[in-house]
Chain A
Amino acid sequence: MVAQMIEGWNLVIGIEIHAQVNSKSKLFSSSPTDFGSKPNSQVSLIDAAMPGMLPVINKFCIEQAVKSGIGLNAKINKKSIFDRKNYFYQDLPQGYQISQYKDPIVGEGFVEIETENGQKKIGVERLHLEQDAGKSLHDQDPNFTFVDLNRSGIALMEIVSKPDMSSPEEAVEYVRKVRSILRYLGTCDGNMEQGSLRADVNVSVNKPGNELGTRCEIKNLNSFKFIHAAIVYEAKRQIKLIEQGESVNQETRLFNTQSGETRSMRSKEDAHDYRYFPDPDLLPLTLDDDWIKGLQDTIPELPDQIKERFINEYSLSSYDANIIVSDKATSEYFEDVVKNRNPKLVTTWVTGELFSILNKKNLIIEDSPITSKQLGELIDNIENGKISNRQAKEVLEEMCESGKGALEIINEKGLSQISDENEIESLVDNVLNSNPENVKKYKNGKDKLFGFFVGEAMKLSKGKANPKIVNDLIKKKLSQ
């Protein structure tokens, strides 16, 4: 559907990500940053912009911005400047937001994403530090707006991409990748439901060969699903306008998560004039080389590097490796389990059975009912032939329900597989001796009967015989 509608058109997408710095206190004040606290209980005199209050910057936030910059393969600017972005709104007590305009703390960088046509580099224009605004509630009262300033002054990193994405899928992959990198670095928790990471998406369309179209910005998208849906809707809307001979207005739009539509928020006529100027309360921020070098040494292994290592060390496919490394907790879980075990088996169990349980229960891997140690124990029992794959699935389900260990369940249920060759041989002999007619038919060329013998032997063992040994023994006996 999307492809049909958009065929013959280029999409040009750029994204601004607002990522909340994982700090205990705010960017310029010592108020806490906890989510879901009582309204206005985390507001200092600075956050409420009382006269005479002066901002003092949080060192930790500077470090997180620089670490994020390194993770985005970006240039770290040794001198950056804080500016005032002036506008009036009820959730902005200062009347301006402290942000960075011409001289951000981090300059150009890039991230690599997986697309249908292989790897693609998406440029990062910049990353800068700024204050978050408060929160307005419009639906509490028919005549009034309620304001909570708890979020006011929390440190955000705004990450601006170059307009390098050309499909909703690429846009989603880009946000996923940036989020994953920030989570590996620990600079932002990436919690989109709580608003710790949100995206503004710029979309324009044009006919191939023509100059770029007029873009619209869709504000505040807080899930991958919404990012995708908003871009699809917006691209279709713009194409329809142009095809009808109308033109696209440059404007800011809001995405309605209920209807899946975007609507105009403010148009160009009352476009903001932010009148940026350097904040006289804050000196330029200067960083020295040794300090940056020191931070560089603390950067952990990032998803691209881990992916490469998993492919080399454990012979994972690029596809599997990608799934596992996209989330830090998943890659840690995988590495816990895979130590001294068969990587192929571990990959299947983690990305297959475990993921399906988590999906069903709507859990993240951090809250998995099966620990990496427990899954490891289960896989050990498959590897040593004690239980079959099919039995292991049963055991895993039981592990989820009861919280018991794999071995305990195997013993309790008497599930263990018979792998003793002598024992299986007597089963097989029994089957062959009681079916002399079929043995004769088989030897005369009725190959299909092989399955019959295996089935009978399995039945006789109540499903516990190791199927591979049964197969091998029957084959051997019948060829004698």
Chain B
Amino acid sequence: MEFDKKSLLKLGKLARISISDDKLNNLSKDLNSILEFVDQLKEIKTDQVDPTSNSLNQKLEVRDDKVDTKNSAEDILENAPEKEMDFFVVPKVIE
């Protein structure tokens, strides 16, 4: 699979990472070599195998519907760069 500059810029945009022009070439080369490496997996025949989303041979752990409040609004807001009236404050999202 070829990873062109356009796809790279799109990926950057989706991840909210700005990629400067001088880094585009090297990044695209790096990503392509990673993809080539992973592409080796395609050599394995899997048409007779069910898709596996997890390789652990275990059942999903479940919990009971019980409320357990371990932290207050103050605790959770402690790490917030900006806060006001118990809200997280972020730059305006819509005009």
A256 within 8 A of B: no
A449 within 8 A of B: no
A25 to chain B, nearest CB (A): 5
Q: Are B53 and A284 within 8 A (Cβ)?
A: yes
A253 to chain B, nearest CB (A): 14
The residue from B16, B65, B93 contacting A145, defined by CB atoms under 8 A apart: B93
B19 within 8 A of A: no
Instruction: State in angstroms the CA–CA spacing of A68 and B74 once bound together.
Output: 37
- Whether A45 touches B16, Cβ cut-off 8 Å, given contacts A39-B87, A59-B63, is no
Contact-residue size bin, chain B (C-beta under 8 Å from the other chain): 35 or more
Instruction: State in angstroms the CA–CA spacing of A42 and B76 once bound together.
Output: 9
Q: Are B14 and A147 within 8 A (Cβ)?
A: no
Q: Are B68 and A30 within 8 A (Cβ)?
A: yes
- Whether A40 touches B62, Cβ cut-off 8 Å, given contacts A32-B67, A275-B14, is no
DSSP class of B's interface residues: helix, strand, loop or mixed? Answer: loop
CB-based nearest B residue for A89: B93
User: Which residues of chain B (51-71) have a CB below 8 Å from chain A?
Assistant: 53-54, 56, 58-71
CB-based nearest B residue for A62: B62
DSSP class of A's interface residues: helix, strand, loop or mixed? Answer: loop
B35 within 8 A of A: no
Instruction: State in angstroms the CA–CA spacing of A284 and B82 once bound together.
Output: 38
Binary contact readout A71-92 vs B (1 if CB under 8 angstroms, 0 otherwise): 0000000000100001111100
Q: Are B90 and A39 within 8 A (Cβ)?
A: no
The residue from A23, A48, A90, A283 contacting B93, defined by CB atoms under 8 A apart: A90
User: Which residues of chain A (392-420) have a CB below 8 Å from chain B?
Assistant: none
Q: Are B76 and A40 within 8 A (Cβ)?
A: yes
The residue from A38, A142, A148, A284 contacting B60, defined by CB atoms under 8 A apart: A284
The residue from B14, B61, B71 contacting A86, defined by CB atoms under 8 A apart: B14
Q: Are B59 and A25 within 8 A (Cβ)?
A: no
CB-based nearest B residue for A283: B60
A280 within 8 A of B: yes
Which residues of chain B have C-beta atoms less than 8 A from A43's C-beta?
71, 73, 76
B27 within 8 A of A: no
The residue from B54, B62, B86 contacting A39, defined by CB atoms under 8 A apart: B86
- Residues of chain B at the chain A interface (Cβ within 8 Å): 10, 14-16, 53-54, 56, 58-73, 76-77, 82, 84-94
Known A-B contacts: A58-B65, A145-B93, A146-B85. Give 19 more (CB < 8 A): A24-B66, A39-B85, A40-B76, A44-B71, A48-B76, A57-B61, A59-B64, A60-B65, A62-B62, A90-B93, A143-B91, A144-B90, A145-B90, A145-B94, A147-B88, A147-B90, A149-B88, A273-B14, A278-B54
10 of the cross-chain contacts (CB-CB < 8 Å) are: A25-B65, A44-B71, A58-B65, A87-B14, A144-B84, A145-B94, A149-B88, A275-B14, A283-B58, A286-B59
